[in-house]
Amino acid sequence: MNAPATIGTTEKVADAIRSGIRTGQFVPGQHLVEAELTLRLGISRSSLREALRHLSGDGIVAIHRYRGAHINRLTRREVRDLLEVLEQLVRLAARLGAASGHANRSLMDAALDAARRHDEDGDHRSYIAVRQAFYDCLFEVAGNRELPRVTPLRRADLFRAQIRPYQTRAQQDSHTEGYRAIAQTVNDGDVEAAEAAVAALFAQTNAMVDELPDVAFDVE
């Protein structure tokens, strides 16, 4: 009864754009012309505009009156602010997950498996899958249903898309390893270690942001 009986056009379109950002089909800063998108996606303008309005609420697209919608492109400062908030929420999730002893071991195991698989093939697509699976599991284990709603993961996808050209394979692996460390400590039920693992991951990410060139970000 809680399952969405059928999926609506608006959601499909929003998902298409969101996943398009992750796959590189849409690039941050890109202008989204309504007429073109309605043709490409085979939908009406009404549905498209509803979807864009939905995405603008998540901070994924920005809508300027009479200038239309474009995929957001974050400034360095926006990224820093985003990471600062994200860290708190992920830390809370890790804390809750570690504290709930009866946690779904199997879920985190799945994330660990995904991480291992990533180590093997090392594709960018699999990196995305690992990230997605990791956070899904973490929120599931945390058991707080508000958390996935407010956590700006989709907005963080923008950041991921922006830095992709400048991210080395080593950095990616290191990041995945960070996920693994968090999953491990959460699984062990070690609250303090879990929080420390989250802090370490974000410290690393923040350091990377500091080293990235200006061109990776939008101008102030």
Residues engaged in binding DNA (CB under 7 A): 5-6, 8-10, 32-35, 42-47, 49-50, 63-69
The total of other beta-carbon atoms located within 10 Å of residue 71's CB is 20
Q: Does 13 bind a second copy (CB under 8 A)?
A: no
> Under rule CB under 8 A, which residues in 26-55 are in contact with a second copy?
46, 49-51, 53-54
Beta carbon of residue 45, minimum distance to DNA (angstroms, whole number):
5
Q: Three-class SS of residue 65?
A: coil
DSSP SS3 for 191: helix
Residue 122 interacting entry, from a second copy, DNA, none, C-beta within 5 to 8 Å by type:
none
30 φ, ψ (degrees, to nearest 5):
-65, 135
Q: How far is the CB of 124 from a second copy (least distance, A)?
A: 26
Q: Give the N- to C-terminal CA distance of the chain in Å, as an integer.
A: 47
In whole angstroms, what is the distance from residue 27 CA to residue 180 CA? 29
Q: Tokens 């991480």 — which residue?
A: 115
Shortest spacing between CB 103 and a second copy, in angstroms:
17
Say if CB 70 and CB 32 are below 8 A apart. yes
Q: Please state the closest distance from residue 16 (CB atom) to DNA, in A.
A: 13
CB of 72 to a second copy, least distance (A): 11
φ, ψ at 26 (rounded to 5°):
-110, 140
**Residue 59 interacting with a second copy (CB under 8 A):** yes
Which is nearer to a second copy, 51 or 115 (by Cβ)?
51
- In one-letter notation, the amino acid at residue 13 is V
User: Which residues lie near a second copy (CB under 8 A)?
Assistant: 4-6, 8, 10, 46, 49-51, 53-54, 56-59, 65, 77-78, 81-82, 84-85, 88-89, 91-92, 96, 144-147, 149-152, 155
